């Protein structure tokens, strides 16, 4: 078994690619009936970046329930109970996060950047920002979470950062080496079985 893992690693064959997308800022609101004011809010979405889809300059990564989490300073951490998504709209120069509607948006024009005009969620970027005020906070009402209903009334000084661990693209020669290694492994096992 160690041989197979060694062959996979040495040939550059990597399964999947993880993308971690983080929005951080200062927020006020309520969660589970508990109010908070001017607390640091961090929203983190983690998913397989090979599932990013781009159409007409907008890239989306749809995430299952529980794949996006949050931390509120002084309150605690939890997960969003519904499916979520992260996106980059190149035409409008913005990146964001949402559950049913865009709950976080950060614009190039608000942070003096042009990064989102060409970003596609497939590479590491940032931190970018801060954006003085999230323009889509009014959509963040009664989101279902592991800590109860979550409403944000203000979200300021918002930054965005992404870390994407992209797989190495295997070259044809490495695939030949992988096939040769697996063939040798199977021949070795067959020989051992015949000898027994």
> Whole-structure pTM over 0.85, yes or no?
no
Closest CA to 123 of 174, 88, 89, 171: 88
For residue 168, the 8-state DSSP code is P
The answer to whether 79 and 71 are in contact (CB under 8 A) is no
CB atoms under 10 Å from CB of 143, counted, come to 21
Residue 138 to residues 158, 160, 175, Cα–Cα distance (Å): 15, 19, 51
Residue 64 to residues 83, 89, 100, Cα–Cα distance (Å): 5, 21, 13
Residue 50: φ, ψ to 5° = -70, -10
CB atoms under 10 Å from CB of 178, counted, come to 18
Per-residue model confidence (pLDDT) at position 182? 57
> How do beta strands 150-165 and 125-133 pair?
antiparallel
The structure tokens listed for 37 are 């004011």
Would you write out the chain's pLDDT as a tens digit for each of its 196 residues?
A: 444 444 444 444 444 688 999 999 999 999 999 999 999 999 999 999 889 999 999 999 999 999 999 999 999 999 999 999 999 999 999 999 999 899 999 999 999 999 999 999 999 999 999 999 999 999 999 999 999 999 999 999 999 999 987 554 444 555 555 565 656 556 656 666 677 6
């Amino acid at each position: 078994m160690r041989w197979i893992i060694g062959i996979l690693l040495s040939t550059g064959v990597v399964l999947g690619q993880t993308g971690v997308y983080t929005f951080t800022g200062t927020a006020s609101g309520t969660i589970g009936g508990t109010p908070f004011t001017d607390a640091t809010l961090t929203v983190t979405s983690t998913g397989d970046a090979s599932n990013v889809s781009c159409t007409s300059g907008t890239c989306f990564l749809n995430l299952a329930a529980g794949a996006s989490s949050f931390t509120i300073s002084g309150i605690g951490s939890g997960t969003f109970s519904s499916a979520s998504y992260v996106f980059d709209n190149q035409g409008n120069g913005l990146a964001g996060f949402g559950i049913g509607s865009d709950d976080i948006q950060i614009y190039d024009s608000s942070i003096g950047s042009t990064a989102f005009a060409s970003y596609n969620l497939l590479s590491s970027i940032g931190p970018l920002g801060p954006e003085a005020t999230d323009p889509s906070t009014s959509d963040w009402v009664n989101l279902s979470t592991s800590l109860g209903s979550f409403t944000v009334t203000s979200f300021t000084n918002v930054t965005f950062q992404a870390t994407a661990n992209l797989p190495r693209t295997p070259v044809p020669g490495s695939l030949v080496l992988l096939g040769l290694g697996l063939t040798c492994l199977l021949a070795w096992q067959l020989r051992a079985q015949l000898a027994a």
